[in-house]
Amino acid sequence: MKSYEKFASLYDELMDDFDYNEWSNYIISIFEYYGIKPNNILEMACGTGNLTYHLAKRRYNLVAFDLSSEMLTKAYEKLHKFNNVKLLNQNMVDFSINKSFDCVVSICDSINYILIEEELLKCFQNVYKHLESDGIFIFDINSHYKLKTIIGNNTFAEDRGNLFYTWQNFFDNDNEICEFYLTFFKRNENGLYHRFDEDHIEKAYKNDFIRKILKDVGFKKVDYYNSFTFDIAHDTSERINFVALK
């Protein structure tokens, strides 16, 4: 995947509306809700390490991986001071780590980037294999409703002064795929704008389908909630948090 190559340098600036400390608080509230006391956590698709940073501050032992070396470079800048974090360059589908974990976590709709159902199954099988017998798997998705109705076939634009971007989207109903075409204009220190483009693709998965795959893999309990709550997800939920217990 070539996505996030140049985008990595802007990722944190563009994601400044995400409260990663609050996200870490929510994950810890899930631990408490389910009576889990993890020590070793595996984070899939860690990006620039924002969630990793907040979990590391709370003294969890973390192994975090991402497919993008550019994103990992940014993560290392934040995380190299922690002796309880290890960063790896791996893929969500076929990752292999010679260690088992109390918890596997993935945020920011990374699961939607797995476009083939067979590869989603393989990812979930790998998660199951890397979890301790009483482990917990926590992740979120952009909902089918959000990708098809809110994002799909719509265009967005934002001017941040030193950065302007457009975000054009197309939803393929046959394959339930949402394609994002992003064009960035970034102003440098000389006042000149540099343009670059990014293409991203996400698969729109329905909740019951994901739940079925998790159950087929062997997870004994699977719940899903409206974003950052313990309320059952509804038809117009835009972000859905899944919790699967081994």
What's the pLDDT band for 159 if we cut at 50, 70, 90?
confident
pLDDT for 161: 81
Q: Which of 53, 202, 213, 45 is nearest to 124 (CA)?
A: 213
Angle at 123 between CA 117 and CA 128, to 5 degrees: 130
Looking from the CA of 196 toward its CB, the CA atoms found within 13 Å total 14
What are the pLDDT digits (tens) for 80-122? 999 999 999 999 999 999 999 999 999 999 999 999 999 999 9
Give the predicted TM-score (pTM) of the model. 0.92
- Tokens encoding 67: 């497919």
Average pLDDT of the residues in 176-181? 94
Within 8 A by CB and 6+ apart from 193, the residues are: 164, 185, 186, 187
Question: Residue 244: which H helix or E strand, with range?
Answer: strand 239-245
What are the pLDDT digits (tens) for 181-229? 988 888 888 888 888 888 889 999 999 999 999 999 999 999 999 999 9
pLDDT for 22: 93
pLDDT, mean over the chain: 92
Question: Residue 72: which H helix or E strand, with range?
Answer: helix 69-79
Q: Which domains does the chain have, with CATH numbers?
A: 7-142+206-245 (3.40.50.150), 145-203 (2.20.25.110)
Strand partners, 62: 41, 85
- How far is 246 from 137, CA to CA, in rounded Å? 8
Give SS3 for 32: helix
**Between residues 165 and 177, which one has the greater pLDDT?**
177
Residue 1, pLDDT > 50, answer no
